Amino acid sequence: MDRRAFLASTTAVMAATATHVPKGKAEACIFMWLGGGAAQMDTFDPKLVGDGKKKPGSYYKAIPTAIRNEQVCKHLHRSAPLMDRAAIVRSITHDISNEHAAAANLVHTGRKPSGTILYPAIGSIVANQLGARTEEVPAYVVMGYPSIIRDPGFLGAKYGNVYLTQVETGPNGLVRPPDVDLNREDRRETLLGQLREGYLKRNAADQTVQQQDAITRSAYKMAGPKFLNVFDLQRENAALRESYGGEFGQRCLLARRLAQSGVRFVEVSHNLNFLNGSGWDTHNEGQLKQHLLIEELDKAFSTLVTDLEKNKMLDTTLVVVATEFGRPPEFDAGGGRGHQSDGFSMVLAGGGLKTGQVIGRTDELAKKVVERPVTIADFHATIHCALGIDPHKNLYAGERPVPITDRGQPIAELFS
């Protein structure tokens, strides 16, 4: 049986048995994005150690985790004892390994682009399905750069994200310019109030004018102190801030605060590429300091999980660690690694899932999936289920029904 047939048969069996759709209780999702393609054998799927040159394999030694008989890379030593709060999915598979943008788009939208409609990012789908938990906050926040892969597609601008590129800047549009203090803010709104009043009076019967005005007024509430205080990390205790680590960790702390405030989907990008000169795209010498990225991830992930737990939010917050593809066990001429999309790892933590298990398996070098392949569509279906969204429902692009995932099946083992 070749791979295609194998996949087809698994899908068919699962389709036949998928009578019961599990429904999770998670209320928010924090989506950690390791852009560039994190090497599975150097993180969550460690194998025999290679030599960094001819002999393929992991680059680091492995250590035991809280999941029996399962290991992770030694640079994940803070997370290892917490892995019972997580599920490692080691058998993610897709077929785009040549192009970062295309693979990142696939992992965000769950589909390859079709050209007839623009598929929404998962954050937009969640925003569309669940909305924010409270009125004064947006449903979908991105910490990273905005681009088409994080866009709402056919769902429309309403389900787009609010983004920030660095924690200290706050979200574009929601933060008052630094030179506008409360006094100026007051003055502005008073003046605007006078102008608006005259304009509304002159156009009293015009519904479009009235609607525009109403939306503007509600928008200004969103930029109010309540939501903006969420961005003030100084309100957290110094030791906690410290333990989250560098910029990436601070973003994760902010993500927790955002989830707490009612935001449904927070994407946190780990794009601190200068740490090793390549980010997670560890070709050539990018490999040499890859451990700095892993350690940063380790600090942030482990602190986030414990922090959520302390705040009694872990069961209702799904933490996802995702990346566009993995990397092969062999080393390139420069001692780094190429790309590999068939067989790599992602992690799901908290969210009320049955954690403490490993889903799927790769071969002895993490080069191929040998057990329970999980497609990107399946992965999306799992996230939807965890959030209580029916993974088999249709969205609509005008009249055209579009299944919410590309016929994905949730990973049943993660639901009780």
For position 243 contacting other proteins by CB under 8 A, the verdict is no
| Distance of alpha carbon 347 from alpha carbon 31, whole angstroms | 10
For position 271 contacting other proteins by CB under 8 A, the verdict is yes
For position 300 contacting other proteins by CB under 8 A, the verdict is no
Nearer to other proteins, 311 or 394 (CB): 394
For position 396 contacting other proteins by CB under 8 A, the verdict is no
Phi, psi of 191 (to 5 degrees): -60, -45
- Applying CB under 8 A, among 22, 24, 36, 110 the residue interacting with other proteins is 36
For position 196 contacting other proteins by CB under 8 A, the verdict is yes
Phi, psi of 139 (to 5 degrees): -85, -25
Min dist CB 111 to other proteins, Å, is 11
Q: Are 159 and 129 in contact (CB under 8 A)?
A: no
For position 104 contacting other proteins by CB under 8 A, the verdict is yes
Find the part of the chain contacting other proteins (CB under 8 A) among 123-131, 198-206, 364-372, 375-383: 198-206
Q: Are 370 and 6 in contact (CB under 8 A)?
A: no
For position 134 contacting other proteins by CB under 8 A, the verdict is no
Q: Are 381 and 391 in contact (CB under 8 A)?
A: yes
For position 179 contacting other proteins by CB under 8 A, the verdict is yes
Nearer to other proteins, 36 or 57 (CB): 36
Nearer to other proteins, 88 or 121 (CB): 121
Min dist CB 190 to other proteins, Å, is 8
- Applying CB under 8 A, among 66, 117, 233, 288 the residue interacting with other proteins is 117
Q: In terms of Cα–Cα distance, which of 142, 128, 383, 131 is closest to 258?
A: 142
Distant-in-sequence, close-in-space partners of 322: CB < 8 Å, separation ≥ 6: 31, 32, 33, 34, 107, 346, 379
**Residue 72: left if φ>0, alpha if ψ -120 to 50, beta else—which one?**
beta
Min dist CB 54 to other proteins, Å, is 26
Site for other proteins in 208-227 (CB under 8 A): 208-209, 211-213, 215-216, 218-220, 222-223
| Distance of alpha carbon 310 from alpha carbon 4, whole angstroms | 45
Question: What DSSP assignment string belongs to 335-361?
Answer: S----B-EEEEEEEEETT---SEEE-E
How many residues make contact with other proteins (CB under 8 A)? 82
For position 6 contacting other proteins by CB under 8 A, the verdict is no
Nearer to other proteins, 112 or 372 (CB): 112
